[in-house]
Chain A
Amino acid sequence: MNQVGEFKEGDIILKLEDVHMSFGKVTALAGVNLEVRKGEIHSIIGPNGAGKTVMMNCINGLYKPQEGNIYFKGQKVNNMRPYRRAELGISRTFQKLELFGGMTVLDNIRLGRHIHLKSGIFSGSIYVGKTKKEELSSRQFIEEEIIDLLEIESIRDKPAHMLPYGLQKRVELGRALALNPELILLDEPLAGLNLEEVEDMARFILDINEEERWKITCILVEHDMGVVMDISHKVNVLNFGNQIMDGTPEQVQANPAVIKAYLGEDDLYSTRR
């Protein structure tokens, strides 16, 4: 495996090796393996309680797995705190929104840039030199790359809690992007959205994955099979902590074990359309 440094498209950027995670007697992950290549949209699907979010939390460091190893860009990250992993380039959104409700959209997004602000307390307090430079480039990045991409110009000064749910989801994605990550973990970004919002969000995910400017590797946890099968390069199927399979959308759709895991067989590939 590559060591930290330049990663080309197709290189394995994230690797989970035999990861075990249990809470008391409940086993959430029972030896899960995953290889995510740079430039991919790698989806993780499974019924409720399959362990998808636990896996996300293990990757970004909210949980520490009892067994197994996690490598990001060739570096073992098992013992790293979440903020250290963020510095390496892992960013995420949450299934249950975790925005700062009383803060404006812009402030929420700016918070995501915090990790890139290196100037000290002194220059920060009088806004000169390094701070000013950082602030200006950060503003340009947020406005030109994020707000423009996500089309949230009209709400930039609105408090986050005042916004409809669909827009809040967008703001969360914006905050995750502000980190300028290499790998983004999207935990059910489409849940609770209406058809139009789903289409928009799917477009944004494709944009950040394909657009030359971003080229972000995505791990997508999602129940909307129509979107998952449409936009993913690879799909990983979990069921009660066990990995059923990992393959292309076509392989997954043809696998009887997958269909069985999702009891309502006919519903598996039904979309909202």
Chain B
Amino acid sequence: MKGSGIEITKELTIPKLFLSQCRKYGDKKVAMREKEFGIWIPFTWQDYYENVKYLTLGMVSLGLQRGDKVAMIGDNRPEGLWAEMAAMCAGAIGVWLFQDCMMDEVKYIIDHSDAKIFVGESQEEVDKALSIKDTCPKLDIIMWDDPKGMRNYHQDFLISVKRVQELGRELDREKPDLFEKTINEGHGDDICLLFYTSGTTALPKGALLSHWNMLTMGRNLMAVDPCYDTDDFVSYLPFAWIGEQMMSISCGLQMGYTINFPEGPDLAQENIREIGPHVMFAPPRMYEGMTRQVQVKYIDSTWIKRKVYEFGTKVGYKVASLKFEKKPVSVGLKFLNWISSMTMQKKLKDHLGMSRLRHCYTGGAAMGPDHFKFFHALGVNLKQIYGQTEVAGISIVHRDGDIKFDTVGTPIPETEIKITEEGEILTKSPSVFQGYYKNDEATKKTLIDGWLYSGDRGFIDEDGHLVVFDRSKDVMTLNDGRPFSPQYLETRLKFSPFVREVWAIGDKREFISAVMCIDYAVVGKWADDKKLNYTSYPELSQKPEVYELVKKQIQEANKDLPEPARIRKFVNLYKVFDADDEELTRTSKLKRAFVENRYKDIVNALYSDVDVVHMDTTITYEDGREQRIKTDLHIEKISA
């Protein structure tokens, strides 16, 4: 069975669709599973319905009204999705926060969004809410669902999800038809989600998305790559990321596939393997992590296994490149590919949880061609997606059989793409958002005549595929005057398992240079094998042997680059870029303007004639503590 069979109209809302899906599947089908206490616990659509219903009514009896905001934070779990659905059913607007948000970010978003109810998972989130309660006067109620550690909290405004549901039951007895009545009052043009985008430059902006935006988004993606209600999906990326909302709500609800929640963030990879999902959507860093894992295991394995892997990937790369070029694969090569599939690809895919995968997408940031080819060589149908929060998810995707590793594909139905003279990518579709919350100025700049101005630079190639170059403001000019994408260079370098993060510098400069962050685990292991002594990341990063290692990785990447784009100098940073230090956004994109200011000493040193740069800075730990670091960084030259 494909799709809900329900036509998406302006009248339809997510809660209305939810109601009809619950009626259709009832207790005959599993809506979601959560791994808890070591076993997968199923929830049928009937369970889903009841939990959401009483939670909605409970929130209503606590005073939630149409248009109010409900802020939510916590790991992916059924209760999180119930709370979001309940908020929408009550006609309220959901606001998700990233689980690892620092206090000021939480405070800013709660305050700016005018949230009335805060739904946290456990003591940790409750503590966050309590510490900002006084400064956010509009926040009325704090809810939690995990009782662990909550025994000493007795404030009136604290209430458990269970207790809220009891209140809901009481209200249901008084007014039995209230739930459905409230749902029926909704309209497709109502706002359902307020999404704070992780700004690379300024404070986060709140994008307003309507039911119509979310539902058309899901419909148009599913028209390209249909899913089925027998499919499985694993929800483990933050709900505060639009991609996860797209899969769990927009597509998930329409298709009725089963959503699986892992036991915890550190168990996600293992749990994905147990489920073997049919569809997957993750930002490039997840795939980069998988690639790194495979590369490291390869280095560590026995001779015979390495040979099998080398044979398998060699054949895989050949087949993949023929497919990219849309050339036929010869019978002999098909046979070799079959052998490689039996001996290597199948096993590896099983370990990565990709054995049943039909579609798998990457989006949210740029992915390097090397990573992309790597997965295709494994026989994984990986596709690029291009989109943003402001179009409720995505607007461009690769089609089966028409995948090019340097493009992001072609527009999904009902979507138009236009490139301005300056090269900016514009999008028009029913999913384009309603504007930024309390920020007309930004809305006016972004939404003009129904066109969404993305701020990304790109072009459309001869096959009609969109090529995303980079963020317009990030595009660099090389010494020969050509434009160049630093992101491209960075993603190429990140294909090396030893390299965790890269920051390429060189706009309008004489040559390109780079700040490198080594991968502590992988380089640490490499150093152990070489019997190098080190005690910390800063020390390891400054070892001459490690510099030599990083230099080799850069030289490798330099080979395929035009002369002016080659990296001529680099420095190993004493730490990895971190979102807690505001160097990355919560979705792991480098904030260039910020790092440029923060590390201006390094930049200056890279472009002057010195060998060493003295650093004296503070770093912030996740719990807010700070540490001062004083160190000398060596600058290494790479000869032409």
Task: List residues of chain A with CB under 8 Å of any chain B CB.
Answer: 139-140, 143-144, 147-149, 153-154, 156, 203, 207, 210-212
Residue-wise interface mask of B (134-162) relative to A, using a CB-CB cutoff of 8 A (1 in contact, 0 not): 00000000000000110100000000000
**A149-B38 contact given A154-B264, A154-B267, CB 8 Å threshold:** no
Is the pair B149, A207 in contact by a Cβ cutoff of 8 Å? yes
Is the pair B38, A211 in contact by a Cβ cutoff of 8 Å? no
Q: Is B303 on the interface with A (CB-CB < 8 A)?
A: no
Roughly how many angstroms separate A185 CA and B410 CA in the complex, as a whole number?
A: 66
Would you list which residues of chain B between 24 and 81 have a CB under 8 Å from chain A? 37-39
Is the pair A147, B149 in contact by a Cβ cutoff of 8 Å? no
Is the pair B151, A140 in contact by a Cβ cutoff of 8 Å? no
Would you list which residues of chain B between 233 and 284 have a CB under 8 Å from chain A? 263-264, 266-267, 270
In order of increasing CB-CB distance, the 9 nearest A-B pairs are A143-B37, A154-B266, A143-B38, A154-B267, A144-B37, A153-B263, A153-B264, A153-B267, A154-B264
- Among A149, A153, A207, A210, chain B packs the most CB atoms within 10 A around the CB of A153
Q: Shortest Cβ distance from A211 into chain B, in angstroms? A: 7
Is the pair B151, A211 in contact by a Cβ cutoff of 8 Å? yes
Is the pair A149, B148 in contact by a Cβ cutoff of 8 Å? yes
Is the pair B38, A147 in contact by a Cβ cutoff of 8 Å? yes
B38 proximity list for chain A (CB < 8 A): 139, 143, 147, 153, 156
Q: List 27 A-B contacts (CB under 8 A).
A: A139-B38, A140-B37, A143-B37, A143-B38, A143-B39, A144-B37, A147-B37, A147-B38, A148-B37, A148-B148, A149-B148, A153-B38, A153-B263, A153-B264, A153-B267, A154-B263, A154-B264, A154-B266, A154-B267, A154-B270, A156-B38, A203-B149, A207-B148, A207-B149, A210-B151, A211-B151, A212-B151
A140 proximity list for chain B (CB < 8 A): 37
B149 proximity list for chain A (CB < 8 A): 203, 207
Q: Shortest Cβ distance from B33 into chain A, in angstroms? A: 16
B263 proximity list for chain A (CB < 8 A): 153-154
Roughly how many angstroms separate A139 CA and B39 CA in the complex, as a whole number?
A: 11
Roughly how many angstroms separate A59 CA and B37 CA in the complex, as a whole number?
A: 34
How many residues from B make CB contacts under 8 Å with A?
11
Roughly how many angstroms separate A148 CA and B122 CA in the complex, as a whole number?
A: 13
Roughly how many angstroms separate A203 CA and B152 CA in the complex, as a whole number?
A: 13
A210 proximity list for chain B (CB < 8 A): 151
Q: Shortest Cβ distance from B537 into chain A, in angstroms? A: 15
Roughly how many angstroms separate A153 CA and B75 CA in the complex, as a whole number?
A: 15
Q: Shortest Cβ distance from A231 into chain B, in angstroms? A: 13
B151 proximity list for chain A (CB < 8 A): 210-212
- Among A149, A154, A210, chain B packs the most CB atoms within 10 A around the CB of A154
Roughly how many angstroms separate A149 CA and B148 CA in the complex, as a whole number?
A: 8
Using CB atoms, name the residue of chain B closest to A210: B151
Using CB atoms, name the residue of chain A closest to B37: A143
B267 proximity list for chain A (CB < 8 A): 153-154
A149 proximity list for chain B (CB < 8 A): 148
Roughly how many angstroms separate A207 CA and B37 CA in the complex, as a whole number?
A: 19
Using CB atoms, name the residue of chain A closest to B152: A210
Roughly how many angstroms separate A147 CA and B39 CA in the complex, as a whole number?
A: 13
Roughly how many angstroms separate A152 CA and B154 CA in the complex, as a whole number?
A: 28
Using CB atoms, name the residue of chain A closest to B270: A154
- Among B38, B39, B263, B267, chain A packs the most CB atoms within 10 A around the CB of B38
Using CB atoms, name the residue of chain B closest to A143: B37
Roughly how many angstroms separate A153 CA and B270 CA in the complex, as a whole number?
A: 12
Q: Shortest Cβ distance from B52 into chain A, in angstroms? A: 25
Roughly how many angstroms separate A177 CA and B38 CA in the complex, as a whole number?
A: 18
Roughly how many angstroms separate A48 CA and B467 CA in the complex, as a whole number?
A: 69
Roughly how many angstroms separate A144 CA and B36 CA in the complex, as a whole number?
A: 9
Given contacts A139-B38, A149-B148, 18 further A-B contacts (CB under 8 A): A140-B37, A143-B37, A143-B39, A144-B37, A147-B37, A147-B38, A148-B37, A148-B148, A153-B38, A153-B263, A153-B264, A153-B267, A154-B266, A154-B270, A156-B38, A207-B148, A207-B149, A212-B151
Roughly how many angstroms separate A86 CA and B266 CA in the complex, as a whole number?
A: 35
Roughly how many angstroms separate A156 CA and B267 CA in the complex, as a whole number?
A: 11
Roughly how many angstroms separate A212 CA and B39 CA in the complex, as a whole number?
A: 25
Q: Shortest Cβ distance from B530 into chain A, in angstroms? A: 22
- Among B37, B264, B267, B270, chain A packs the most CB atoms within 10 A around the CB of B37
Using CB atoms, name the residue of chain B closest to A139: B38
A207 proximity list for chain B (CB < 8 A): 148-149
A147 proximity list for chain B (CB < 8 A): 37-38
Using CB atoms, name the residue of chain A closest to B39: A143
Using CB atoms, name the residue of chain B closest to A144: B37
Roughly how many angstroms separate A210 CA and B38 CA in the complex, as a whole number?
A: 25
B39 proximity list for chain A (CB < 8 A): 143
Q: Shortest Cβ distance from A193 into chain B, in angstroms? A: 16
Roughly how many angstroms separate A149 CA and B270 CA in the complex, as a whole number?
A: 21
Roughly how many angstroms separate A140 CA and B39 CA in the complex, as a whole number?
A: 10
Using CB atoms, name the residue of chain A closest to B266: A154
Q: Shortest Cβ distance from A19 into chain B, in angstroms? A: 36
B148 proximity list for chain A (CB < 8 A): 148-149, 207
Q: Shortest Cβ distance from A57 into chain B, in angstroms? A: 33
Roughly how many angstroms separate A251 CA and B39 CA in the complex, as a whole number?
A: 49
Q: Shortest Cβ distance from A199 into chain B, in angstroms? A: 9
Roughly how many angstroms separate A20 CA and B122 CA in the complex, as a whole number?
A: 48
Roughly how many angstroms separate A211 CA and B148 CA in the complex, as a whole number?
A: 9
Would you list which residues of chain B between 104 and 156 have a CB under 8 Å from chain A? 148-149, 151
Roughly how many angstroms separate A3 CA and B620 CA in the complex, as a whole number?
A: 56
Q: Shortest Cβ distance from A104 into chain B, in angstroms? A: 12
Roughly how many angstroms separate A143 CA and B149 CA in the complex, as a whole number?
A: 18
Roughly how many angstroms separate A189 CA and B148 CA in the complex, as a whole number?
A: 21
Q: Shortest Cβ distance from B261 into chain A, in angstroms? A: 13
Residue-wise interface mask of B (5-41) relative to A, using a CB-CB cutoff of 8 A (1 in contact, 0 not): 0000000000000000000000000000000011100
Q: Shortest Cβ distance from A174 into chain B, in angstroms? A: 14
